[in-house]
Structure 1
Amino acid sequence: MAGHPVEVYFEFVPLGRQVKVVAIDAASGVEVSIVAPAGASQRDMETIALRKLTKRLTDLAEGA
Structure 2
Amino acid sequence: MGKSESYLIEFISSGKALKVTAVDPESGTEASIVGDPKMSRDALSKLAVQKLLYVMNKAQNDQDDDRPGILV
Give the equivalent residue in structure 2 for 1:43.
42
| TM-score for the superposition, normalised by structure 1 | 0.89
Distance 1:63 1:7 in 2: 24
Per the alignment, residue 33 of structure 1 pairs with 32
Q: CA deviation at 1:16?
A: 1.0
Q: How much has 1:5 moved relative to structure 2? A: 2.9
Amino acid at match of 1:50: V
Normalising by structure 2, what TM-score? 0.79
5+ residue gaps, structure 2: 64-72
Report how far residue 34 of structure 1 moved: 0.3
Moved over 6 A (4+): none
The whole-number CA distance in structure 1 between the counterparts of 2:16 and 2:39 is 10
Identity value in percent: 29
Q: Where is the strand percentage greater, Structure 1 or Structure 2? A: 1
Larger C-alpha radius of gyration, 1 or 2?
A: 2
Aligned length: 63
SS at match of 2:62: coil
Residue 41 of structure 1: how far off its partner (Å): 0.3
Q: Deviations over 1:9-49 (max 9, x none)?
A: 00000011110000000000000100001101001100100
5+ unaligned residues in a row in structure 1: which ranges?
Answer: none
CA RMSD of aligned residues (A): 1.4
Paired residues for 1:47-58 under 5 Å: 47-58=46-57
